Amino acid sequence: MFESAQLLSFLTVVQTRSFTQAAERLGLRQSTVSQHVRKLEEQTGHRLFVRDTHSVATTPDGDAMIGFAQSILEANERAQRHFAGAQLRGRLRFGTSEDFVLSHLTEVLRDFMRSHPLVDLELTVALSGRLNQLLDRGALDLIFGKRRRGDDRGQLVWRDRLVWVASPGYRLDVSAPVPLVLYPPPSITRETALSTLQRVDRPWRIVCVSGSLSGLQAVTLAGLGITTVAQGLLPAGLVELKGPHDLPDLGEIEFVLQGDTRRGPAGKLAEAILASGNRLQRTWKG
């Protein structure tokens, strides 16, 4: 039998790509998280992570373990809810960014409402920058989206690379300004793209601005320009732009929960999202 604490430490390292960040999120010592993973590797007889001083990545056996760990923890959670007896109730004003409109977050919300039918859920979908404004004004209880570089607010769900994407076969003219397809402000990916190009003195022009994810996807698929997304949330039909395009590295992006993540309906939904962090990546629907 696999222990829940070991499985939770394993999944948290997968999501955060860091033993240190995993320990902070779980409220444990880094040595404890390392011990959990080591015991899990001993029990399975397989190495689950490849790590060096700069990165942590899953092995093929680690990738397989993700599904098993999620299923075991979800079964434990269902059993605990069944025998707990008490019904959760109250209003929950939840905001999520455009990134997750087509992801498995809808399934997480469906399962949450089935488990807690007395909770009155109010859902707001907006850009991460706008969600932060609403949270600061007290208009939302919990938000799930991106945070700006240097911002330490919120509970880290996972960390990912931000990448340039385009339609298949797209060829960027390196002698012309970079044609960008972007969200309007306040958008964290927009800010990151523009500041990164400005830092390396690379000319750019905005060919399209859309407040919807489907709009960005459609225009980029049409070959009118390129856009930026998290590598683990690559939209259907688009591909990462690689090769000799002379585009600067965009660095990493962090997805976080902010708000009341410790109690009540918001706390329970935060728990569900943290437990499902791996399911939410690479799950775009066409």
pLDDT in tens, 25-47: 888 999 999 999 999 999 999 99
Q: What single-letter DSSP state applies at residue 2?
A: -
User: Which among 57, 83, 109 is the end of a domain?
Assistant: 83
User: Which among 49, 66, 83 is the end of a domain?
Assistant: 83
Q: Nearest Cα to 101, choosing from 119, 135, 121, 128?
A: 128
- 211 — pLDDT class (breaks 50, 70, 90): confident
Residue 213 CA, chain-centre distance (Å), reads 15
Map residue 125 onto helix, strand or coil: strand
Match 């309906």 to its residue by tokens: 265
Same domain, 100 and 111: yes
Query: Quick one: pLDDT at residue 284?
Result: 38
Domain that includes residue 169, residue range = 160-253
285 in any annotated domain: no
CATH of the domain at 31: 1.10.10.10
Write the DSSP string, 215-277.
HHHHHHHTTS-BEEEEGGGPPTT-EE--SS--PPP--EEEEEEEE--SSHHHHHHHHHHHHTT
Q: How many structural domains is the chain composed of?
A: 3
Please compute, for residue 105, the number of CA atoms within 13 A of its CA located in the half-sphere on the CB side: 23
Question: Considering the entire predicted model, what is its pTM?
Answer: 0.70
